[in-house]
Amino acid sequence: MIDQGFLFRMPEQTQHGTVTVEFMNRAIEAEREACAKVCEDIYNDPKENDGYDCYYTRPYLECAAAIRARGQA
């Protein structure tokens, strides 16, 4: 989550309309989830892992978990 003191305490007018902290947080979370999903999709791709959970494909799941954990800090 973005610290409200860092961005804006009140809605901020931009060239694209009004942006609130809540909107920014939702957009950041959606982007984070999309990135984690890419990692999981690579892990689940049979061309990448031949259906096995092994040492060279496991980092994709670890990467997805690390991306999601950034939102929990």
- pLDDT (tens digit, 9 = 90+) per residue, 15-73? 666 677 788 888 899 999 999 999 988 888 777 666 666 677 788 889 999 999 988 86
Q: Tell whether 52 is covered by a domain.
A: yes
- CA-CA distance, 16 to 42, in Å (whole number)? 34
What domain range is 58 assigned to?
A: 35-73
Q: What is the pLDDT of residue 23?
A: 82
pLDDT, residue 73, reads 64
| 24 within some domain | no
Number of domains in the chain: 1
Which candidate, 9, 16, 26, places its Cα nearest to that of 71?
Answer: 26
* Other CB atoms within 10 Å distance of the CB of residue 38: 14
What does the pLDDT read at residue 42? 83
- Report the candidate in 29, 57, 31 with the shortest Cα–Cα distance to residue 42: 57
Q: Is the entire prediction scored with pTM above 0.75?
A: no
Evaluate whether 55 touches 16 at the Cβ level (below 8 Å). Answer: no
- How many Cβ atoms sit within 10 Å of the Cβ of residue 46? 8
Residue with tokens 């804006």: 8
* pLDDT for the residue 59: 86
